[in-house]
Amino acid sequence: MDISILNWINSNLHGSVVFNYLFKYITYTAEWGAIWLLTALVLLFFRRTRRGAIILFIAYGGVACVNLVLKHFIDRPRPFLENAEFVSFIESINMKLPDSSSFPSGHTALSFMAATVLTLTFGKYGAWSYIWAVLVAFSRIFLCVHYPTDVLGGAMVGVIVAFAVFYICKWIFPKIEKWWQDRHKDKPNEDKNKSA
């Protein structure tokens, strides 16, 4: 089923050079989660969005770890190793062949993690990021560098890690804030005692 979908895409959807390069550049925006790291950095500059940025950074680390472990143990070969026509297509758009294993899709995992964190944190404003996450996910299939099930698995990893990190942070952040406030509440009294 997986390879049949990719064969159909290769036969029917790769006729437009514009679309081929468009999806190549969409996929590049999520290379190492670049667009989502940039988003987190921007959010970090504003007090109202800083908490969301911190959650995004933590979830990024979580997805990266889970992804590495799954890729290592599942070790699924890439689809272009099964069909030489995929290699020809990928090389025709001057794209480097990925050398890591196929399952799950890291680009998709990071994208769905980020979209989920942004939605949980910022509601409907964050939900718009799912549009880009879906485009990134589709680009991995369109470019024949992942099977559809790799992308589905990546999306599931991203969503699960996002929910786990978000609710852990929601529980632990108030405790950290309380500890910080209590620590600095006592400090003026300590300073007065020292000066006396």
> What is the C-alpha to C-alpha distance for residues 180 and 196, in angstroms, rounded to an integer?
25
Helices (H), the chain: 2-12, 17-29, 34-44, 50-74, 84-92, 106-122, 124-127, 129-142, 148-195
Smallest CA-to-CA distance from 106 within 49, 39, 157 is with 157
Q: Binning pLDDT at 50, 70 and 90, where does residue 22 land?
A: very high
In this predicted structure, what is the pLDDT of residue 16?
93
Smallest CA-to-CA distance from 162 within 33, 41, 45, 46 is with 33
* 98-127 burial: b if 16+ Cβ within 10 Å, else e: beebbbbbbbbbbbbbbbbbbbbbbeeebe
3-state SS, one letter per residue, for 18-55: HHHHHHHHHHHHCHHHHHHHHHHHHHHCCHHHHHHHHH
pLDDT above 70: residue 165 = yes
Overall pTM surpassing 0.85 (yes/no):
yes
pLDDT above 60: residue 192 = no
> What is the C-alpha to C-alpha distance for residues 95 and 86, in angstroms, rounded to an integer?
11
29-33, 56-60, 95-99, 169-173: least confident range = 169-173
In this predicted structure, what is the pLDDT of residue 181?
67
In this predicted structure, what is the pLDDT of residue 173?
75
pLDDT above 60: residue 189 = no
What is the tens place of the pLDDT at every residue in 79-128?
Answer: 999 999 999 999 999 999 999 999 999 999 999 999 999 999 999 999 99
> What percent of the chain is predicted at pLDDT more than 70?
90
pLDDT above 80: residue 188 = no
pLDDT above 70: residue 56 = yes
- When the pLDDT of each residue in the chain is averaged and rounded to a whole number, the result is 92
